[in-house]
Structures are given as structure tokens and as C-alpha cells.
């Protein structure tokens, strides 16, 4: 009987030492070329349009900011931001907030937000952190006349949760196909432009 408890204790300690990243299949980011990233997108979501990259300087600085007001500083790689047609942030989600399904953030139009938002974040300022394949600044006029602009962070290293987040955002756009919704995919730390 004593051995049984000892074995259970060892299993529990081993489980606690295995990180969440390992369990979910999240790996350490590594630099990849544009073809590798596009292949990943086509294989998983059949779309590599509106794909952008963080500038190294922006990625380094965003890691030092709070995710939302009164949250700890630090970058959340599994996240999306939703901006209305005026460029105001109306919703922001990260996996650390809980289950996207249970929070029902994407269950209505426009998406509802759960926790307070940083009102200083605007669509135009957010776009300044990203570049396209040719290292060009993104022209905000590309997104004129949109009902919503959703920026979703992705990376091949984010495993199953990352793929699911992309798929859920695409499903949301299809659900509200009478609205003009742009999905802007920003690669997280696999390549810098």
C-alpha cells in the first residue's frame, strides 16, 4: 500500500515537471523561410494571404508590455485582436484567459470582450509593428471599408492550439460572410523582416 502512494506521488511530480507547452505540442520558435511558413498555412488553413511578420524591434518591445490593463507584463503568442471599422480595439483574446469556446467571445457579431481593454491600442498603430514579405510597411488603406479587422498571431511552433485558433477565426469570418472581415495573420517570432 505504501509503495502505491509512493508511485502515485512520483507520477504526480513527473507530471508537474512536464510543461504545458510539451503537453500541447508547443515548441521553441525557430527561424523559417517564407516558403516553409506559406506551406504550413496552405496545409492547415488553405490560405496564405494577408500574412505579415513582426519587425524584430517591435517583437522585442511588445514582450515588455502588459497584455491588458492590470495584467502581468509579457507576450502571449496565442492571441487575436479585433478592431472595428473606426480602428478601435473592441476585443482581444489570449489562451491564458481560458477556453475560447467557454468564454463565447466569437459567438456573436461583433465579438464580445471579457476583460478590460487598453484603449490606446489602435489598428493603425498596431499595423506599424508588422511588415509584408518585402519588408514594406503595411498600407492601412488596404483595409478601408472593412467592418472588422482581426489580427491573429500564429506560428508553426504553436502546435495544435495555434492551428485551432487560426481555424476558429476563419470559421468566424465564414459565419458572418455578409460582413467584410479581414483576417491579418502575423507570424510570431519565426522570421523577422
pLDDT digits (tens, 9 = 90+) for 165-174: 999 999 999 9
Contact assessment for residue 179 and residue 118, using Cβ atoms and an 8 Å cutoff: no
What is the number of residues in the chain?
193
Q: What are phi and psi of 25, to 5 degrees?
A: 85, 20
- Give the three cell numbers for residue 124: 493603425
Q: Collapse the DSSP code of 18 into the 3-class scheme (helix H, G, I; strand E, B; otherwise coil) and give the result.
A: coil
Q: List the one residue out of 181, 39, 41, 185 whose CA is nearest residue 111.
A: 181
Evaluate whether 185 touches 51 at the Cβ level (below 8 Å).
Answer: yes
Share of the chain above pLDDT 70, in %: 81
pTM score: 0.81
d(CA 94, CA 7): 36
Assess whether pLDDT exceeds 50 at residue 17. Answer: no
Residue 13 has pLDDT above 50, yes or no: no
Tens of pLDDT, residue by residue over 88-119, are 999 999 988 888 888 899 999 999 888 889 98
What are the backbone dihedrals phi and psi of residue 17, each rounded to the nearest 5 degrees, phi first?
-80, -20
Phi, psi at 150, each rounded to 5°: -110, 120
Q: Report phi then psi at 151, rounded to 5.
A: -100, 120
* Interstrand relation of 130-131 and 51-54 (parallel, antiparallel or unpaired): antiparallel
Position 55 pLDDT exceeds 70: yes
Which tens digits make up the pLDDT trace of 136-177? 888 888 888 999 999 999 988 888 888 999 999 999 999 999
Amino acid at each position: 500500500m505504501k509503495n502505491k502512494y509512493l508511485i502515485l506521488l512520483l507520477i504526480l511530480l513527473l507530471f508537474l515537471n512536464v510543461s504545458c507547452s510539451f503537453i500541447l505540442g508547443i515548441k521553441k520558435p525557430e527561424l523559417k523561410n517564407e516558403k516553409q511558413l506559406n506551406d504550413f498555412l496552405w496545409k492547415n488553413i488553405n490560405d496564405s494571404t494577408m500574412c505579415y511578420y513582426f519587425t524584430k524591434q517591435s517583437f522585442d518591445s511588445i514582450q515588455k508590455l502588459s497584455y491588458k490593463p492590470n495584467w502581468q507584463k509579457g507576450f502571449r503568442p496565442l492571441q487575436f485582436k479585433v478592431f472595428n471599422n473606426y480602428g478601435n480595439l473592441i476585443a482581444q483574446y489570449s489562451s491564458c484567459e481560458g477556453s475560447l469556446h467557454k468564454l463565447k467571445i466569437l459567438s456573436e457579431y461583433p465579438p464580445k470582450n471579457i476583460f478590460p481593454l487598453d484603449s490606446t491600442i489602435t489598428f493603425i498603430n498596431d499595423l506599424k509593428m508588422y511588415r509584408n514579405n518585402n519588408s514594406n510597411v503595411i498600407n492601412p488603406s488596404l483595409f478601408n471599408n472593412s467592418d472588422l479587422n482581426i489580427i491573429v498571431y500564429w506560428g508553426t511552433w504553436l502546435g495544435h492550439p495555434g492551428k485551432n485558433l487560426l481555424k476558429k477565426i476563419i470559421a468566424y469570418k465564414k459565419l458572418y460572410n455578409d460582413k467584410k472581415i479581414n483576417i491579418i495573420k502575423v507570424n510570431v517570432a519565426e522570421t523577422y523582416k
